[in-house]
Every structure is written in C-alpha cells, then in structure tokens.
C-alpha cells in the first residue's frame, strides 16, 4: 500500500475523466460531506490541522471559520496561479486529477457557505485549464456542480478563469483585483478577504493542493489525517524539487521527512562530483539554507526555526559550480520584473538591488555595497502592502549574510579585472557613491 | 511632442517613458454605431461577460480573444473590446499593459517563451534562449521571449511553444523545434510535458 494520498496512482490512464475517478471512489467524500451539517465538515477540517499549501501555511479550517455567518453572497476562489519559481505541484495535480480539485472545491464551498466559486489559473497553463474545463463540464452534467448538488440543497457555480501572466496575481488580493478585471495590484489589508474579498463579499481563497487534500480528509476523518506528519505540520505535502539535482520532479512526502532524504534520496542529489552549496526550501522567496541544514526535518516549524520557510514546498538546489552572485541576480531580476510598482520600497528596492548586484559583476562595487544592499533589504521587509518585496529581500539578505566572503571575493576579482585597486584598501564611500551616481 | 528625458534605466512602469499628448481629448467609451466589431469577437466577449457576476471580470478573457484575432492588443482591438464591454480604451490599456501575455506591440504569431528563471537557468536556460533566438533569426512569424518561471522546473530547461510545454531542451533540439513550428506540426512530441510521468517512484499508474 502506497502512502500516497494525492499522488496515489496519479498516472493511471484516464484519471482526468469522471468515469475513472468515480470508479476509484471519487466524489464519495462529497456525498459524505453533504450528508453532514456544514459545521461538522468545518470541524473535520479544523481537526485535520491542514495548513495551507500555497505559501503562508495558514490553517485551512481556521481560515474557513473566519468567514462571517449569514446569508450574504460568499465566494470561494481556488488559487491556481502557481508562479513561485521552483513550484510546479499544482500543475501536476490539475492536469492529472482535476476531479480531485473540483471535489475539494465543492466540499470547501459547502463548509464555507459559498455559492459562487472560481479557479484562477495562470494563463500559461493552457493544457491544465483545458483539462479543468473538460472536467468541469463532466461534473456539471453528473450533478456534482450547479443547482441543488445531489439533492442536498447546496448550489455552487464554478468558473475557470485564465490569468495572463503576472506573478503578483498569486498574492490573494492581487488575484482578487485581477479576477475583478483590473490590474493585479494588491490591496491594503485589513479588511482581509474573509470579510471583504471578491466583489466586496466574504471570500475564501485556497491553494490547489490544499483543496485537493480536502476529499482525503473527509474520507479519513480529520483526526486520523492529523496523525500523519508531525504535530504542527500534519499530513503529506507535495514537494517540487528542481535545480541542480539528478531527478527533478514532484514528490509526495509526509511532513517531517528529513530534507536530506528528499534532496538526495528522492531527487538524487547534485550531479556526480558536486556538492550542495545552498538550497531554497520553499521557492525562490525563501531565505537560502546551507548544506548542513539538510538534516532538518522538512516541516513548517523546523524550517521556520532555521530562519527560512516552507513556502510552497519548492526545493531549489544550487550546487557548488554556481557562483552565488548569479543566483542572487536571477532572483532579484525576477522580483524587479514582477513588482507591480504600487509600493515604493518594493518597486525601488528590487530595482536598486539588481543594479547593485550588477555593479559587483562589473567591478564597480566595494564591500561597502554589500552593507548598503543588506540595509536596502531590511527597509523593504514589512513596509509594503504585500510580501513581494519581502520575497526578494529575504533570500537576498540571507545570501549576503551567509555567503559574504564569496561576494567579497567576487568584488575583488571583478575590480582586478577592471584594473581598479583593491577595494579593501579604500577608505570612505565607494567612488561611484561619492560622485552621486547612486 | 518630445519624449520626457529620463535617467538611464529610470522608472520601469510600462508606458511611463512615452509622454502623453496632453492636448488630446481622453478617449471615451466607443460608440457602437461607429465601431464595427467582428461578430465572432463580439460573441466571444459577450459569452465571457455572462460567466461572471460582474461583467467587468471578463477583461482578461476579452483581451485574450481580441489578441487572438488581431495578433496583439492593438488600438483597434482595444477599441472593439471597449465597445462591447462599455469601458474606456484607457482602462483596457491599463489592464493589457500589466500582464506579460497580453502584447502591447505587434509580435510574431508563434510565441516561444523560454523560461529563464532560477531553476531553468541553473540547467542552462540562458544558453537555450540564445540558441532559440538565433535559430528563429529575423523570422517575423516568431515571438521569442525569455519568460519568468513557467512552472515546469521538472523539465528544465524548457519552453512554452504556442502554449505547449516542451523540455528538457538542449541546443540540439532547437532546429527541430523551429522546424516543427514552421511546418505546423506538433512541437517535439517526445519532449512534451503531457507525456511525462510523475517523478515520485511510488506514485505510479
């Protein structure tokens, strides 16, 4: 018996069709849920301890319970914008088992009292959106969606909304603005989406993997599910391993599995003769960890204690053949491109960080630039409407802190290439700074 | 009107470096009587608008549809969407300029997005991008772009060719890729993501 919950026989031919999904017991969790009171479904979700799989790791049951009671129009939005670099788990789930997601959405909407739902899928996922549309039509025809689902009195409309390429639309309020037909600018919080979200109505927003887990929780029972994993990180998690490993891909693990087992055991570790230099435990927004942190158990709290975060569960491995400056520059350029431009610290901070990193490469920098750069990161964190700026500041800050000698060596080497004197001998501000070029 | 001088690499807000013509009246919601809209585009937009509680939610699907017809979000395309949706062209342009997949300048009709984000670049995506760009050359049919993470790091380095994900790609695959696109064949069928099994050894079929 495989320990896979979400990936159980995921490659079975035809799993994306209703016939095969039902043969495997699909939609039985929905029937079970609809026979219960919505509050009881909610308490199963709360008992499971399921934490959101999108990045923030907030308890799903608690999030549902934040929605106000009453008869106002409520919404459920599934966040399928998966754009965090290194993350590709939702893609595999939606493409191969779309009905699992639909079932989770219907159960979630029943618990939350929502009658209108959307899947916001990133525009680049053409194949997956087509698969979802086909599954949606099947589910609707079979009475799993629409008016009076299976005679329970619960109704739900569901629309697959294709985005158009913007990382910021994975941020929940940016997503809502985009879904309302605007530029995807994040909103000021509070009010939180649970109170005022889509079309100003109470809105529950959950990641694909979170919602895919809901049918399993209903089948197993919340308390049974909570026995998997470790105390504050229950259940299984799909980890996307990428970068310099031999077998990149999605692996479903029980939370609390040693990180080394994931990186080396499952993904095969770095290529022959190379060592892990650093790794991102939760997408490119998470502070990097070193090779000796590989012994950490892979769960929300252990990774947080080590100064990073589990994020979306995307491990990016960088081996010792890659200069840390290249990694930093790639990351910073991404956030510069994706910053929506609304908040100054993020818009300017990402831009200046890229420029300062480029100065290192072109030999114009001194080690003092590293201090300036680190202080720029500190001034971004917590000073914007959303965490996009923080998502650059945290990894860049961690790289400067953990790989400072390498940055300094890079500075000296580039200066020597340029025929400039050693930076270490300079007193006072860097020449470019004195000329006011900064 | 001359361009506003800006510091090199100044603001990156799209369109910010183009000075607005302050003498011109702002464009209003187009008059349906004088704005011809192709019937198929009109029906596509109207269908999209029906799907949402607030019809304005359909801006992205509507702009996608217009882009498919016109090749890019041209002033004419924007005008037509604005006419059907009863919005100002300026509003729609603000939306179109925000998203990477909506083109605000004419481009080739075949899009090749090469992912050059961290996971792909660690496996040689930057070289791949240069190779694809060189192979496509000056062919006006191609829109070769480097793209941010496309969510397929398991097949890194990869590209999305007219929406079809292919990878892992090496320099040796590039001529075939270009050839397949030109001939209108499925692109590198052996390397398409749709054929890839889950990496988890215990997932299985």
φ, ψ (nearest 5 deg) of residue A104 = -60, -40
- How near does any CA of chain A get to the CA of B202, in Å? 6
List the single residue in A with minimal CA-CA distance to B58: A181
When pLDDT is cut at 50, 70 and 90, the band that residue A420 belongs to is confident
β-bridge partners, A314: A240
The DSSP code for A257 is E
Closest-CA residue to B35 (of B90, B86, B70): B86
A149-168 pLDDT per residue, tens: 999 999 999 999 999 999 99
Both tokens of residue A392? 């650059």
Q: Is A341 helix (H, G, I), strand (E, B) or coil?
A: coil
Q: Tell me how far CA of residue A407 lies from CA of A272, A328, A333, A365, A366, in angstroms.
A: 26, 10, 17, 10, 10
Does the beta-carbon distance from B64 to A91 stay under 8 Å? no
When pLDDT is cut at 50, 70 and 90, the band that residue B21 belongs to is confident
Structural domains in chain A? 18-227 (3.40.50.11540), 230-319 (3.10.20.600), 324-417 (1.20.1440.230)
Q: What count of other Cβ atoms lies within 10 Å of the Cβ of residue B113?
A: 25
Closest-CA residue to A250 (of A229, A231, A267): A267
Q: Answer yes or no: is pLDDT of A425 > 70.
A: no
Report field, pTM of the whole predicted structure over 0.95: no
What is the DSSP secondary-structure string of A373-421? Answer: HHHHHHHHTT-SSSSHHHHHHHHHHHHHHHSHHHHHHHHHHHHHHTTPP
Closest-CA residue to B121 (of A325, A22, A56): A325
Peptide bond into A259 cis (omega under 30): no
Residue A174 CB-half CA count within 13 A: 26
Does the beta-carbon distance from A125 to B151 stay under 8 Å? yes
Does the beta-carbon distance from B122 to A244 stay under 8 Å? yes
Amino acid A156: pLDDT: 98
Q: What count of other Cβ atoms lies within 10 Å of the Cβ of residue A365?
A: 26
Rounded Cα distance, A244 and A135, in Å: 35
B94-150 pLDDT per residue, tens: 999 999 999 999 999 999 999 999 999 999 999 999 999 999 999 999 999 999 999
- How near does any CA of chain A get to the CA of B54, in Å? 7
Which residues make Cβ contacts (< 8 Å) with residue B22, sequence separation at least 6?
A: none
Rounded Cα distance, A151 and A75, in Å: 21
Type and span of the H or E element at B204: none
Both tokens of residue A128? 């997956």
Amino acid B167: pLDDT: 95
Q: Is A60 helix (H, G, I), strand (E, B) or coil?
A: helix
Amino acid A435: pLDDT: 47
ipTM of the complex model: 0.93
Does the beta-carbon distance from B200 to A249 stay under 8 Å? yes
Asked if A320 and A277 count as a contact pair (C-beta separation under 8 A), the reply is yes
Amino acid B14: pLDDT: 52
Does the beta-carbon distance from B153 to A243 stay under 8 Å? yes
Rounded Cα distance, A226 and A209, in Å: 16
Q: Which of A85, A95, A186 to mutate to test the interface with B (most CBs of B within 10 A)?
A: A85
Amino acid A433: pLDDT: 46
- CA torsion sign for B118, B124, B126, B128 is negative
Burial of B104 (0-12, 13-18, 19+ CB in 10 A): middle
Q: Is B200 helix (H, G, I), strand (E, B) or coil?
A: coil
- How near does any CA of chain B get to the CA of A86, in Å? 6
Does the beta-carbon distance from B153 to A85 stay under 8 Å? yes
């Amino acid at each position: 018996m495989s320990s896979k919950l979400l990936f159980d026989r995921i490659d079975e031919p035809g799993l994306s069709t209703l016939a095969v999904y039902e043969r495997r017991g699909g939609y039985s969790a929905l029937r079970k849920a609809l026979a219960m009171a919505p509050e009881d479904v909610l308490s199963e979700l709360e008992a499971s301890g399921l934490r959101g799989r999108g990045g923030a790791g907030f308890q799903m049951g608690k999030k549902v319970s934040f929605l106000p009671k009453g008869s106002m129009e409520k919404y459920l939005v599934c966040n399928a914008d998966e754009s965090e670099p290194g993350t590709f788990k939702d893609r595999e789930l939606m493409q191969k088992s779309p009905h699992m997601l639909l079932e989770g959405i219907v159960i979630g909407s029943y618990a939350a009292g929502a009658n209108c739902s959307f899947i916001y899928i990133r525009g680049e996922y053409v194949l997956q959106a087509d698969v979802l549309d086909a599954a949606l039509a099947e589910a609707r025809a079979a009475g799993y969606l629409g008016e009076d689902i299976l005679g329970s009195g619960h109704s739900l409309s569901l629309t697959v909304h294709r985005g158009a390429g913007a990382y910021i639309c994975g941020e929940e309020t940016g997503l809502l603005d985009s879904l309302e037909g605007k530029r995807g600018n994040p909103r000021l919080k509070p009010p939180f989406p649970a109170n005022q979200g889509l079309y100003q109505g109470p809105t529950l927003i959950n990641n694909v993997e979170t919602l895919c887990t809901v049918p399993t929780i209903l089948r197993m029972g919340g308390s049974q599910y909570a026995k998997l994993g470790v105390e504050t990180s229950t259940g299984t998690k799909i980890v996307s391993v990428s970068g310099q490993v031999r077998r990149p891909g999605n692996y479903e693990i029980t939370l609390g599995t040693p990180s080394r087992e994931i990186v080396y055991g499952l993904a095969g570790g770095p290529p022959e003769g190379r060592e892990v230099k650093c790794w991102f435990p939760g997408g490119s927004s998470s502070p990097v960890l070193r090779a000796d942190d590989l012994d950490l158990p892979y769960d929300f709290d252990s990774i947080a204690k080590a100064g990073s975060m589990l994020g979306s569960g995307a491990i990016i491995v960088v081996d010792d053949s890659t200069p840390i400056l290249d990694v930093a520059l790639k990351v910073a350029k991404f956030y510069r491109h994706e910053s929506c431009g609304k908040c100054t610290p993020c818009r300017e901070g990402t831009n200046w960080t890229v420029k300062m990193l480029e100065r290192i490469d072109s030999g114009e920098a001194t080690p003092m630039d590293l201090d300036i750069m680190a202080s720029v990161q500190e001034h971004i964190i917590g000073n914007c409407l959303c965490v996009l700026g923080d998502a650059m500041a945290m990894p860049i800050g961690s790289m400067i802190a953990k790989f400072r000698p390498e940055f300094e060596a890079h500075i000296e080497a580039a200066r020597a290439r340029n025929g400039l004197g050693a930076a270490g001998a300079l007193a006072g501000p860097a020449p470019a700074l004195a000329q006011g070029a900064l | 009107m001359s361009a506003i001088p800006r510091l090199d690499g100044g603001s990156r807000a799209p369109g910010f470096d183009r000075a607005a013509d302050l003498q011109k009246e702002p464009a209003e919601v187009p008059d349906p009587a004088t704005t011809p809209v192709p019937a198929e585009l009109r029906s596509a937009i109207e269908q999209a608008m029906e799907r949402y509680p607030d019809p304005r939610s359909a801006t992205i699907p509507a702009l996608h549809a217009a882009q498919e017809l016109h090749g890019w979000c041209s002033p004419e395309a924007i005008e037509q969407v604005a006419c059907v949706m009863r919005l100002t062209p300026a509003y729609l342009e603000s939306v179109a300029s925000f998203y990477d997949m909506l083109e605000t300048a004419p481009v080739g009709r075949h899009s090749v997005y090469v992912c050059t984000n961290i996971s792909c670049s660690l496996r040689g995506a930057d070289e791949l991008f240069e190779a694809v760009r060189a192979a496509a050359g000056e062919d006006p049919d191609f829109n070769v772009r480097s793209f941010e993470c496309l969510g397929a790091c398991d097949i890194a380095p990869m590209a999305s060719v007219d929406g079809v994900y292919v990878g892992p790609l090496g320099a040796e695959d590039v001529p075939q890729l270009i050839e397949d696109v030109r001939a209108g064949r499925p692109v590198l069928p052996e390397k398409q993501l749709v054929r890839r099994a889950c990496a988890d050894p215990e997932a299985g079929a």
